């Protein structure tokens, strides 16, 4: 079986959770995934030591999948590096808020609307964590009896 080459851009709480879930799920990826941030350093992520490399245009050349983990520097990592990652041919999943409202970028919760992803999409966005949990619950209810309105307050 082929193993995918994964790059994680960002090492904060989100990046660490991505690393943890990649390990936990035992996905068919080369381990360890490449990890990038604004500067090179060693980080302990999910209990494991990683060499975090400084992100550059070359970071994406061998990546099959790029997981953007939020902000890296003054702007979102995906805002800065999306074009490079797509040009390198990687499938990109953005976990930041930068493209959530962009009509040209599918906003995807795989268990709910994976059909929103088409073969030509090389970049998709992930909703906010509270939204994901909510739509996972609402989707089957909506299929059974159309939901017309939901009022939600989150205190994050």
Give residue-wise pLDDT tens across range 61-85: 999 999 999 765 556 899 999 999 9
| Cα–Cα distance for residue pair 94/82, rounded to 1 Å | 9
State mean pLDDT over 14-22. Answer: 94
* Residue 74: predicted pLDDT: 54
Nearest to 113 by CA among 91, 90, 140, 86: 140
- Does pLDDT of 44 surpass 80? yes
User: 1 pLDDT band (50/70/90 cuts)?
Assistant: low
**What's the alpha-carbon Rg for the chain, to the nearest Å?**
16
* Residue 9: predicted pLDDT: 95
Query: CA 74 → CA 17, 36, 38, distances in Å?
Result: 22, 15, 10
Q: Is the pTM of this model over 0.75?
A: yes
* Residue 70: predicted pLDDT: 72
| Cα–Cα distance for residue pair 37/116, rounded to 1 Å | 30
* Residue 68: predicted pLDDT: 96
Name which of 58-62, 100-104, 107-111, 151-155 the model is least confident about: 151-155
Cα angle at 3 between 5 and 20, to 5 degrees?
65
Mean pLDDT across the chain: 93
């Amino acid at each position: 079986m082929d193993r995918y080459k994964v790059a994680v851009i960002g090492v904060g709480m989100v990046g660490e959770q991505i690393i943890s879930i990649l390990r936990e799920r035992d996905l068919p990826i080369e381990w360890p995934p490449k990890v990038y941030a604004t500067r090179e350093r060693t980080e302990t992520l999910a209990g494991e030591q990683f060499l975090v490399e400084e992100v550059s245009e070359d970071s994406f050349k061998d990546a099959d999948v790029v997981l953007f983990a939020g902000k890296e520097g003054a702007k979102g990592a995906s805002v800065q590096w999306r074009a490079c990652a797509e040009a390198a041919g990687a499938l990109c999943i953005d976990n930041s808020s930068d493209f959530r409202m962009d009509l040209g970028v599918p906003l995807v919760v795989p268990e709910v609307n994976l059909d929103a992803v088409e073969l030509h999409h090389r970049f998709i966005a992930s909703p906010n964590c509270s939204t994901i949990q909510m739509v996972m619950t609402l989707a089957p209810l909506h299929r059974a009896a159309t939901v017309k309105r939901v009022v939600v307050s989150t205190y994050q």
